[in-house]
Amino acid sequence: MKKEGKSVADAELVHQKVRDGYAEIAKGNGCGCGSERTSSDELVRQIGYSTEELSVVPEGANMGLSCGNPTAIASLKVGEIVLDLGSGGGFDVFIAGKKVGPRGRAIGVDMTAEMLAKARRNIDTYREQTGLDNVEFRLGEMEHLPVADGSIDVVISNCVVNLSPDKPQVWREIARVLKPGGRVAVSDLALLKPLPSAVREMVEALVGCVAGAVLVDETRRMMTEAGLADIELVSTPDYIQAKADWNDPLYRKIMEHLPADAEPRDYITSLGATARKPAR
C-alpha cells in the first residue's frame, strides 16, 4: 500500500520524526524558531497578529511556530465552529476561541501528546482571562481527523500541513469535515522552486516545516482535487526574511546548503491559502 509515493512505514517514520521534534519543543528543549519568547512575540506581530489577539494567549502557548495568521485570513465570525490542524500549545485555538465567542467553539487537533498536554494545561488560564469555556484539544493526525463529517464552519492551520507525508489526504480530510459552504484558511510554507536535496534530507528542516514543503502550484492542485473551490493563494515573503535577519539557527543551516549566491527566500515563501467547500 502506497501513500503519494511513500509506503505506510515511510509515512509513519515521518510522523515519528515530527512527534519527537515537537515533543522536545513542548518540553522546552527546543524551539521552532530558535529564539527567545520575546522574539517569538516579535515574529507573530510581524506576520500579522495584533496586540489584542496576543492578549488572550496564555504564557507559553506561543512557541515561535507560526508562519502566518490563519485566524485573520479566515475572517472568523461569532458563533462559528473552528478546527485548527496541528494546534500545538493552543496558540491559534485560544485566539480563535475569543473571536467566535460563547456561541462558537474552537477545536485543536495535534498528534504529539506533549503538545496536547501543554495546550490543555493552558485552558484554565484562557478561561480566567476571557470568561469563555469554548475550546478543546483532541489527539489525532491530520490525515485521519477525529471530527465528524460536515461539522466544521472553518478549518485553520499554521505551518503544519507541509509536515504531513500524505498532503492530498490532509486536504481530503479538510473537505470532509467542512460543512457545505464552509471555508479553510491555512498559513503554510511553500516552495517557489525545488529545494536542494541536502536541505530536504535535514531532520531539522523537516521539523521546521521546510523539507516537507511543496511547490505553490502543487498546493493548488491538491486543494482542487479535494473538491475545494474559490481557491486563493497569497505569497508573503516577509516571514522568511525575518527568520534570516534574526539569524535563526535552522535558516543558518539551510543557507549552508544553498548555492553561494542564493538565499532561503529564493526558494521558500509563507503562503496564505483560502478556499470554500461548495454548498449543496
Range ranked top by mean pLDDT from 57-61, 175-179, 239-243, 263-267? 175-179
pLDDT digits (tens, 9 = 90+) for 68-94: 778 888 999 999 999 999 998 899 999
Task: Indicate whether 174 pLDDT > 70.
Answer: yes
The pLDDT assigned to 37 comes to: 39
The pLDDT assigned to 266 comes to: 80
pTM: 0.83
**Number of helices and strands in the chain (H, E):** 13, 9
Task: Indicate whether 117 pLDDT > 70.
Answer: yes
One-letter amino acid for residue 22 of the chain: Y
Copy the grid coordinates of residue 64.
515561535
Domains of the chain as residue ranges with CATH = 2-276 (3.40.50.150)
Bigger pLDDT: 31 vs 33: 31
Bigger pLDDT: 33 vs 274: 274
pLDDT digits (tens, 9 = 90+) for 223-261: 999 999 999 999 887 667 666 665 666 666 777 777 777
pLDDT digits (tens, 9 = 90+) for 35-64: 333 456 666 666 667 778 777 887 767 655
Distances (CA, A) of 130 to 55, 58, 80, 124, 267: 10, 11, 17, 10, 41
